[in-house]
Amino acid sequence: MVVTPRACHDQCRSRKIVDTSDEWITTRTGIKERHIAADDQAASDMAYEAAKVALADAGMDASELTHIVCGTFTPDSMVPSTACRIQEKFGIKGQACVDIAAACSGLSTLWRLHADTLPSTRTARCWW
């Protein structure tokens, strides 16, 4: 499940901030547009919405989770973690909550964490 910020901008906005061109950005990154979170839209808001859909698809209730792992380089705040804020939005307690701040490699870092750590706990039920 992917949740993107409400506002979407083309490369024109980026060109005003950095001396570059649409062609330069597109050929090097493939990016044609950027989604910018509104002032009232936090990372935990988007993660919570995505988690609700993922849990429904899995036929799970948030209370069944044992871990909440959030990969973000733009946390709501340093403390409490964005994962803790997600836990709070669900109104649940007792899960291990952690943020992984690994920038562009965040998703692959989360997969590696899952592959290396969580299978040792056969009962782990995680969302990220």
Per residue in 74-113, pLDDT (tens digit) is 899 999 999 999 999 999 999 989 898 887 777 788 778 7
Of 110, 28, 105, 96, whose CA–CA distance to 66 is shortest? 96
**Domain assignment of residue 1, yes or no:** no
Residues 26 and 89 in one domain: no
pLDDT recorded at residue 127: 55
Residues 82 and 109 in one domain: yes
Given a contact cutoff of 8 angstroms between Cβ atoms, the answer to whether 97 and 68 are in contact is yes
**Domain assignment of residue 2, yes or no:** no
List the domain range (segments joined by +) for residue 122.
43-127
Q: What is the count of structural domains for the chain?
A: 2
Question: Residue 15: what residue type?
Answer: R
Of 123, 100, 103, whose CA–CA distance to 112 is shortest? 100
